[in-house]
Amino acid sequence: MVVYRQKQSVSRSLKHRIRDAEAQLLNRQRKIDTRSATLIRDIRLQITAPSTLLLAGGIGFIIGELTKRQDLKCRDTTDKPVAAETSPLKTALSLMGSMRTLYTALLPLAWIIKSYHQPGETKSRE
């Protein structure tokens, strides 16, 4: 580790200042590598957590059910006139609104479940 001084001597040569700058740069690059590896590990743990996968599967199922097309036989048997078809844009906007509502409703539940089932965590909660 290189110790950085607040007040550097003016008499230090250019060679020493360049060497210090290189050491400082190398130290910062090592810290970035370490922090990046830690961040990637934490993201992988969060993505593969059972609660996250369950939430993603549930949202996928709901989206599949909402976007499922009705059979033409069911439409033809009713005596009611068929309403005008909605545009794909309106359907997409409605779907996005539904997804946002589901996300805001289910995400806190997933966080609560996940917080009680952390691997490697001690049972004492304060």
The model's pTM: 0.40
Res 30: pLDDT = 97
The fraction of the chain above a pLDDT of 70, given in percent, is: 68
pLDDT for 104-126, tens place per residue?
777 777 777 777 766 655 554 44
Distance separating alpha carbons of residues 15 and 18, to the nearest angstrom: 5
Long-range contacts of 3-12 (CB under 8 A, 24+ apart): none
pLDDT for 81-97, tens place per residue?
555 667 777 787 788 88
